[in-house]
Amino acid sequence: MNIEKIENSFSTSDDNKCSTAKYGMVSSAFPDATKAGVEILKKGGNAVDAACATALALGVCEPQASGIGGQSLAILHIDGKTIAIDGSSRAPSLAHNTFFEKHSRRFIGYKATTVPSTLATLGYLNEKYGRLDWEAVVKPSIRIAKRGYKITKLQHNLQKDNLSKFFRVKSKSGAKYFLKDGEVPYEIGDVFVQHDLSDTLQHIAKYGYYSFYQGMIAKLIDKDMKINKGFLRKEDLAFIPEPIERKPISRRYRGIRVYTMPPPTAGDTMLLVLMMLSNLKKSFLRKRTPQSYHFVAETFRKALLYRTQRKFNPRTYHQIDEKTHLSRGFAKSLSKSIRDSIDPDLPLRESPDIEDTTHLSVMDKEGNAVGITQSIELVYGSKAAADGLGFLYNNYMSAFEFDNPSHPFYLRPNSIPWTSVSPSIIFYNHQPWIVLGSPGSARIFSVVSHFISRVIDGDNPIDVAMKRPRLHCSLDGKISLEADDSGIEIIKHLKKWDTKLTLEKGIPFSLEPFMQF
């Protein structure tokens, strides 16, 4: 890897999506949220403070993807130590399998929500590793909610696509808060103000994040859930879903150390992809040929298949030793099993790809680094909102297993859902170099691993690695390739191999990396 070439060829952009800084950096999917994190750094906060402020602001600016009704998972490097923060949400005690026999009930409505963990995770991070007081960290999100922000084209389109789903909630609470006049999508450029959410955040800033779980807000959520026959209760909230500090997993890729989160995330799947790709020459991966694209696609598919076969919850199950799963020998054997065409032995079954997520990356001048990926699962979560509080409930019930009691993610009280996130930190010379993660549901591991390969194998700066067309392969063999005029020959050849090839403009891939300069 040519580190000088990678860093020196990076180009800033007029829209500030690609920029440089001397004293720290914040990267997120929404400008107002990024500014919130920068504001905290300027006030003397560290990377953790800035990350928490950015995460809270994203919950205001990207209600379709995250919020205080969802969950957040993080990886951080602070004071020389790297830690994975498992901020998984929890299943309410009243939730039972019989209700969810009808598949659609897992996705929409009050019963689809788990115990929100985002505030517990962010509060814990600020309390244990932050420098500024909690009130200062929450303040930017309050301001954004009160003053409003402009609706984006993405948000307009998502509201339009999910209009009928909002109205499937009998109370129409989600429509009340997140549709214009409670009836139609907001137009692009409309200023969206959230008074109730602003008041909620102000209360949380003043009384602490515990008030969400054991104070007035918990009582209001309990009342709301009882009225609307949801499962979540104040007793579930009182048993605060404090995050669990886990040891991150890591492997070297071409000599560069990559740290990511262990299960229940897809971090191990992302590392497995990298280890499989390491069996190929850089020159082969750099070539834009049908052969290289086919190998990468099948690598994604093999790794994803292995993930679905080896479901794993570190608190209750140990189905396979981590050293075996992430061994060089195992990765090499999987690489050798890839054929020149689609493998007929792999099950041709579709993998659902429906959730929405957001990611943020932060680094401060002291070298502390934080990556947080957070979600409310489906786009606009359960489509049900907390009355008087202004936030959407998640629909993480859809991420549980309902049929097999021996399954590690089988629904039971206080169990955690499965997740596809993989926030990561890349180290160079024993120091954090790139902090990255992505939205994209089942595509997250492929986006992150492909990006890392493009930087390390292709000697590409992060702006180039981000802009190049992305590739994914699902369990059923469907190859999704971001539309790109320069790849016509590749498309022709891939179509010969795979009739399920789809070209997608504006493919829902996104990447929020940060690289130190």
- Tell me the pLDDT tens digit for each residue of 3-14: 889 888 888 888
Q: Is the pLDDT of residue 86 over 70?
A: yes
Q: How far apart are CA 396 and CA 73, in angstroms?
A: 14
Query: Is 517 in contact with 30 (CB distance < 8 Å)?
Result: no
Q: Verify that 366 and 302 share a domain, yes or no.
A: no
pLDDT average, residue stretch 260-289: 86
Query: Is 374 in contact with 437 (CB distance < 8 Å)?
Result: no
pLDDT score recorded for residue 65? 93
Q: Verify that 128 and 43 share a domain, yes or no.
A: yes
pLDDT score recorded for residue 344? 60
**In the listed set 366, 399, 424, which residue is the last one of a domain according to the structure?**
424
CA-nearest of 32, 125, 41 to 83 is 125
- Helical segments of 9-61, H only: 31-42, 47-61
Q: Is residue 453 part of a domain?
A: yes
Q: Mind listing the pLDDT tens digit for each residue in 19-38?
A: 889 889 999 999 999 999 99
Q: Verify that 148 and 236 share a domain, yes or no.
A: yes
pLDDT score recorded for residue 346? 57
Query: At residue 140, what is the residue type?
Result: P
Strands 369-378 and 71-78, how do they pair? antiparallel
Q: Verify that 42 and 160 share a domain, yes or no.
A: yes
Which range is most confident: 118-122, 323-327, 409-413? 118-122
Q: Is residue 258 part of a domain?
A: no
Q: Verify that 38 and 100 share a domain, yes or no.
A: yes
Count of domains forming the chain: 2
pLDDT score recorded for residue 510? 38
> Is pTM beyond 0.85 here?
yes
DSSP state of 390: -
Q: Verify that 271 and 125 share a domain, yes or no.
A: no
Q: Verify that 195 and 81 share a domain, yes or no.
A: yes
Q: How far apart are CA 153 and CA 23, in angstroms?
A: 33
Q: Verify that 500 and 487 share a domain, yes or no.
A: yes
**In the listed set 392, 424, 456, which residue is the last one of a domain according to the structure?**
424
Length of the chain (residues): 517
CA-nearest of 402, 423, 435 to 358 is 423
Q: Verify that 363 and 300 share a domain, yes or no.
A: no
264 preceded by cis ω (within 30°)? yes
Find the helix packing angle between 47-61 and 31-42, rounded to 10°: 150
Q: Is residue 99 part of a domain?
A: yes
Residues 6+ apart with CB under 8 A from 327: none
Chain centroid to CA 81: 23
Q: Residue 143's domain spans which residues?
A: 30-245+355-424
pLDDT score recorded for residue 60? 98
> String of b and e for 101-111 (b: at least 16 CB within 10 Å)?
eeeeebbbbbb
Q: Is the pLDDT of residue 271 over 70?
A: yes
Q: Is the pLDDT of residue 499 over 60?
A: no
pLDDT score recorded for residue 513? 46
Query: At residue 307, what is the residue type?
Result: R
Lowest mean pLDDT among 146-155, 303-312, 400-409, 430-439: 303-312
Q: Mind listing the pLDDT tens digit for each residue in 205-241?
A: 999 999 999 999 999 999 999 999 999 999 999 999 9
Q: Is residue 310 part of a domain?
A: yes
Lowest mean pLDDT among 60-69, 142-151, 206-215, 394-403: 394-403
Q: Is residue 16 part of a domain?
A: no
CA-nearest of 50, 34, 17 to 366 is 50
Q: Verify that 212 and 83 share a domain, yes or no.
A: yes
Q: Verify that 137 and 198 share a domain, yes or no.
A: yes
Lowest mean pLDDT among 119-128, 132-141, 467-476, 486-495: 486-495
> String of b and e for 497-515 (b: at least 16 CB within 10 Å)?
bbebbebeeebbbbbbbbb
> String of b and e for 133-166 (b: at least 16 CB within 10 Å)?
ebebbbbbbbbbbbebbebbebbbebbeebeebb
Q: Is residue 254 part of a domain?
A: no
pLDDT average, residue stretch 348-375: 81
Q: Rg for the chain (alpha carbons), in Å?
A: 22
Q: Mind listing the pLDDT tens digit for each residue in 66-78?
A: 999 999 999 999 9
Q: Is residue 251 part of a domain?
A: no
**In the listed set 424, 449, 477, which residue is the last one of a domain according to the structure?**
424
SS3 466: helix
**Mean pLDDT taken over the chain:** 86
Q: Verify that 334 and 471 share a domain, yes or no.
A: yes
Query: At residue 478, what is the residue type?
Result: K
Query: Is 192 in contact with 186 (CB distance < 8 Å)?
Result: yes
Region label for 393, one of left (φ > 0), alpha (ψ between -120 and 50) or beta (otherwise): beta
Q: Is the pLDDT of residue 309 over 70?
A: no
Q: How far apart are CA 98 and CA 393, in angstroms?
A: 21
Q: Is residue 9 part of a domain?
A: no
Chain centroid to CA 208: 25
Strands 431-436 and 149-150, how do they pair? unpaired
Helices vs strands, H then E, count in the chain:
20, 16
- When pLDDT is cut at 50, 70 and 90, the band that residue 48 belongs to is very high
- When pLDDT is cut at 50, 70 and 90, the band that residue 511 belongs to is very low
- When pLDDT is cut at 50, 70 and 90, the band that residue 401 belongs to is confident
- When pLDDT is cut at 50, 70 and 90, the band that residue 353 belongs to is very low
pLDDT score recorded for residue 233? 96
